[in-house]
Amino acid sequence: MVAGILLTLVAILAVAIYAYYKKNERFFKLGSQLPGPRYIETLKRYLDTRKPPEQIFKVALQVAAKYDNLVKVWAGPYLLVGLFNPKDVELILGSHVHLEKSSEYKYFQPWFGNGLLISYGDIWKNHRKMIAPTFHMNILKSFFPQFNEISRKVCKKMEKEKGKPFDCHEYMSGVTVDILLETVMGYKEPRSEDSGFEYALAVTVTQEEKPKVEQKQETIQGYNNGTAVRDDLDENDENDIGEKKRLAFLDALTEAALQEGVNFTEQEVRDQVSTIMFEGHDTTAAGSSFVLCMLGVHQDIQAKVIQELDEIFHKTDRPVTYQDTLEMKLLERVIMETLRMYPPVPVIARKLNEDVKLASSDYTVPSGTTIVIAPFILHRSPKNFANPDVFNPDNFLPEKCQERHFYSYIPFSAGPRSCVGRKYAMLKLKVLLATILRRYKVTSTVEEKDFVLQGDIILKRTDGFMIQLEDRQKIF
């Protein structure tokens, strides 16, 4: 009796699997033609996910290293394809068809709702069009008093750490949140000394912390209630949109929500605020922390950056101006090279809405596939960068940039869904780092080869961003 029932269930399951295969036969045939590990090897790699996050990151890199331009991985009936050639990457990121993020992004919905990170279609298009002008260069220039004031405050906070190793990421997380609150959000009310760091902790998402979603949401909502490819940001800067329309981010969203006939709800304002606060703080915190570590390792390059800053400021204590940032050529290259080797967002994923014939080969990737683009791998390809594992800011000399494919360097993504705040991020990084370096000499207590990386939502070091500070000049 039991055996008969089991046989019947097996038969039904077999028929269902066969029917599903026949219905999606073309999808499976095209997917099976792509290079990649066999099912058994994929299963073994899946079991490896029981390892610590830093080990998972290593395993993923090992799998990718075996293949040239692309690799496919089956996760049951789901097909994931990693692309490593900039020509193929352009087909996806540069497209107005493949704008939908992969289904994995739905796990971020408790934090970001339907913000720019997750939304697609008309919602994304309309919100992007509304938000992009709030990062107009004329608005960004008005933020320099806050950039300077808060950067100097973090220098004073780090005073107590002098002469001993410490994790600078905690300070960078706090300062980037404080800058966001006082610039993009226009939040100038008195708050606790460590409020920025408290927010940074609240939006930190790791595998071990997923059960704490509701607790973290309360903290986040408490605050939220209150280089290569041209995009819409370039167009906004070149086509001045007029003083009356040049509102900062939160002002613009609030005004839109209050206008009659504009379909922009209070919840949508909250979603966009949550998204900008997360994307604007965690990526910059990781980026600035990596820059300090790399300059701490490469003392010769740090000395050249200091020479550049001395030529600009003449060892005075005056604040950084927008014009100063234009003269920080070497510091800019240092930031860009650090973002090449340690891109804050290590993986970008998109859902294919139609078949794509690859530019690098004769393969066709079927509609319904999840495309995975890893800037960490793309940026370290010897086809795109000579000696890719060597820290060399000269990779971003103008003549070097002209030799490369636009999509070989995508720390802020690229195409229609590129980071809306990339110009804001670069200005903030320049002011923050220049202020710290004018005040302190930075050394790293860990060699670069010993960095332990973890590729979650944001690329970080599990061993901590350990540096040591010494007085350079007490100018503020």
Question: How do the pLDDT tens digits run along the chain, 476 residues long?
Answer: 666 677 767 767 666 665 655 667 888 899 999 999 876 555 555 555 556 666 777 778 888 888 989 999 888 888 999 999 999 999 999 998 888 877 767 666 666 677 777 777 777 787 788 888 888 898 999 999 999 999 999 999 999 999 999 999 999 999 999 999 898 887 765 555 565 555 554 544 443 444 333 443 444 444 444 433 445 555 555 555 444 445 667 777 777 667 666 667 777 788 888 888 877 888 999 999 999 999 999 999 999 999 999 999 999 999 999 999 999 999 999 999 999 999 999 999 999 999 999 999 999 999 999 999 999 999 999 999 999 999 999 999 999 999 999 999 999 999 999 988 999 999 999 999 999 999 999 999 899 999 999 887 899 999 999 999 999 877 66
Homologous superfamily of the 104-343+379-471 domain (CATH): Cytochrome P450 (1.10.630.10)
- Characterize 12-49 residue by residue with b for buried, 16 or more Cβ atoms within 10 angstroms of its Cβ, and e for exposed: eeeeeeeeeeeeeeebbebbeebebbeeeebeebeeee
Distance, in Å, from the CA atom of 409 to the CA atom of 227, rounded to the nearest integer, reads: 8
Give Cα 360 to chain centroid, integer Å.
26
> Where in the chain are the domains?
1-97+356-373, 104-343+379-471
Through-space distance between the first and last CA atoms of the chain, rounded to whole angstroms: 85
pTM of the model: 0.85
